A and B are shown apart, each in its own frame.
Chain A
């Protein structure tokens, strides 16, 4: 009886608790009418309307003008037009750093990162493709023989003077094949870019903005995962690998991005970092700082030690930028001549990665797997 009595009391307690809570619910509704939830649709709209689509548009413009410069060059074959062509190439690769992050939806179907920017490029494959004149750029074996890295090799050449490079497009026995090959690389990127933009504008913009959950496959989940993938690329592909982080400390200068252009690797890394920061802040190319992940973290009052997580991340962006600014072009020389300076920038990227990959998704409650969880 005693036991039953106790159980009965416990039963009463939970029921009371439950009703108190229900009452409280009503009261709270009166007390704070204001909406305490974060306006995710507005944030997603800012990303698609002000950042992602405009960035793709700028990239398309840069790519189209690269194609035009190429068309002019193969007709005139002058040093002046080669110089213009190279400038347009550099401009397009810079703009590419601002779309590479968005590898979901239309970009994911076109596999943009691998198709546009697999480096180091395979010069053996490129030359054998040019010699044979028969190739299919759509195959996996040609992934490292096309896109920007292939154009980097074709337009800047290995130990070529301007004159000898122009000769390869002019008097060389395989000149016609070479012209066609660079053309094929350019048109593949053009086709894919046009298709991506069309998809974003026709229906994906809506799909993206209306998927407001936090589970995997939700827009927020996609954005955060790809942002981290991009930080990883910055840390490893752009800096770590040339620095020898995967090769027992032996530096690998030839693995730098845009190795043949040779004076833009650090610039591309900086642009990549800038884009990562833009995405984090919800900042568009014109500098307008809209609703972004930083606002969401502030709204959730996420902390990191004594400061807010947002402050910690902003601080880390600033430090990383400072350290990267100290690295001189060309990166292929700096990894050997100023190893510790490059290493310092690398270490800050590691810290940035930890904050963005571990702390941020955890604070946002983003689910990053399809599998069932225990919540542990």
Chain B
């Protein structure tokens, strides 16, 4: 399956770029997700083993060898790596985790695979609709929430952040000058928004599938041209093929088959799992999708501007929505002498970690707690860790981000607690 090959390419690209070292071996501290603080990296050899296992399991998924086990291994391995450090959180990594979870249940190995060649008894040419539907529905959720998130004043009325991002490419041949025009930023903003809101519906209509798919390709290729978002566009382009009709897929399979070996004809077999399995699956899928529908909406529970506070921002398919940057100065305050030390962030954090931390309050708490432990080791008694931080959002000038007097090391990252020390936007 294409998913397997693309994942294999992703993993190899990841290793080739030296990101394994930069992200999971070099850092002195990691920013875990709330509730997943027990997830720890495995050291240099361990991390490379994990990535090699991921590459092998991706390959096995692609050729359909020990499909279900490979899918489970891939899902667990990939999710493990992602949970290590929220610095590296990307919506499309989250998407891959979810997809690899969903494909565990797909009977994708029951036709045109090595598993199938080894054991013809599992053969099935038709998968029940609801299996395919889970994938389709997941893609629907991603697009739709991404679209809803774009319905906001900055995106639609001010064309931010595209107004900043597009002119930065003014040196591109042919279209460079065009990118500096203001209306182009508006056009891209509105088009992106309408696209995300409409595409998931159009994909369900077989009649429109060809023109719709054309838009899918154009849209994702455009994004890959302008922004460094890695493999994501290609993943989406290949995944949306699931909306095509069966004849299209058979046509591809036969094309590949005719290259590998001669043609063969099969009888149609409908994959019919046992009733018990079906029940179990449907409960699982229901829970999964209820979570999927509620998670992106959790931001409603917190006051303030979501983009500013980022409370409930992750896991919500909010992509390309803001140009946010910040600088944070951390201070270790000694209670007894009243003296203070300005922390050299570079000493403890990688460039990427420092950049992400400066604009994300929950990471500031993690870092403050780390600093406290670090300075207690150096002989401080219960120091106060405070930070002065300036953040700019979507081209509005930088301003103070959090209360500089608050002791960050005693704050909590609990979902239940609003971070009231973040200044109003």
Contact = CB atoms under 8 A, between A and B. Distances in A.
Interface of A: 4, 7, 10-11, 13-14, 17-18, 21, 24-25, 28, 32, 35-38, 40, 212-215, 236, 240, 245-250, 300, 302-305, 309, 312, 350, 353-355, 357-359, 361-376
5 contacts: A7-B205, A14-B191, A35-B177, A365-B323, A375-B322
Nearest to A213: B171
B164 A365 contact: yes
Interface string B153-173: 000000001001101111100
B198 A374 contact: no
The 9 closest A-B pairs by CB, nearest first: A365-B168, A304-B397, A248-B339, A372-B230, A375-B320, A37-B170, A212-B171, A214-B168, A362-B325
A368 B208 CA distance: 41
Nearest to A36: B180
Contact of A28 (B181, B194, B208): B181
Interface string B213-233: 001000000000001111110
A358 B391 contact: yes
A32 B81 CA distance: 50
A14 B195 contact: yes
Contacts of A371: 19, 22-23, 88, 352
Given A248-B334, A300-B164, A372-B228, 7 more contacts: A248-B337, A249-B337, A359-B325, A362-B164, A365-B165, A371-B22, A372-B90
Nearest to B334: A248
A376 B208 contact: no
Contacts of A375: 161, 165, 227, 229, 319-323
Interface in B313-359: 313, 318-327, 329, 334, 337, 339-342, 344, 351-352, 355
Nearest to A248: B339
Interface in B182-208: 183, 187, 190-191, 194-195, 198, 201-202, 205, 208
A24 B190 CA distance: 15
Contacts of A247: 341
Given A11-B202, A213-B171, A362 B339 contact: no
A302 B168 CA distance: 13
Interface of B: 17, 19, 22-23, 88-92, 161, 164-165, 167-171, 176-181, 183, 187, 190-191, 194-195, 198, 201-202, 205, 208, 211, 215, 227-232, 313, 318-327, 329, 334, 337, 339-342, 344, 351-352, 355, 388, 390-392, 395-398
Contacts, number: 163
Given A4-B205, A375-B320, A370 B17 contact: yes
B230 to A, nearest CB: 4
Contacts of A359: 325, 392, 397-398
Nearest to A6: B201
B198 A38 contact: no
Contacts of A35: 177
B316 to A, nearest CB: 11
Contacts of A302: 395
Contacts of B191: 14, 17-18, 21
Contacts of B177: 35-37
B319 A374 contact: yes
A362 B323 contact: yes
Contacts of B323: 362, 365, 375
Contacts of A368: 351, 355
Given A372-B228, A376-B318, A38 B392 contact: no
Contact of A367 (B91, B228, B329): B228
